[in-house]
Amino acid sequence: MHSQADEDALVYPPGPTERISGLIFGASAGDARPTAQTYDVFRLFAPQIQQQLVALQQALGRDLSAVNATLKAGGASLVVPRAAELRLPSVATGR
C-alpha cells in the first residue's frame, strides 16, 4: 500500500518554496557559514519565488478589498497581510 504522501508528491511535485525551505536546516546547522552550494541553490530558486511574491502582491492589491468586503459582510475576520511575509528574497545576498 502506498502512503498518501508519496502519491501527493507525484501529483503535486514540490515547487520552489518547498525546495528552498530545505535549505534552512542546512544553513542553520553548525557554527560555520552556509556552503557555496547552499547559496547556489538559493540563487537558483529565489527568482522563481520572487515572481510568485510579485504575483501575490499584485493579486492582493487587485482583489483583497473585495475579498475583505465579502468577509466583513459574512461576519468573518478580515485578511490583513503583514509586510514581513511579502519580502522579496535577494539573489545577490541570499537573504
Q: What is the mean pLDDT of the chain?
A: 79
35 phi and psi, to 5 degrees? -75, 165
- The count of structural domains within the chain is 1
Cβ-contact 60, 66 below 8 angstroms: no
Say how far apart CA 64 and CA 48 lie, in whole Å: 23
Positive or negative: CA dihedral 83, 85, 88, 89: positive
- Residue 1: is its pLDDT beyond 50? no
Let me know if residue 65 belongs to a domain.
yes
- Residue 73: is its pLDDT beyond 70? yes
Q: Which domain holds residue 33?
A: 4-86
Say how far apart CA 25 and CA 37 lie, in whole Å: 14
Let me know if residue 93 belongs to a domain.
no
Let me know if residue 78 belongs to a domain.
yes
> 44 vs 77, which has greater pLDDT?
77
Let me know if residue 94 belongs to a domain.
no
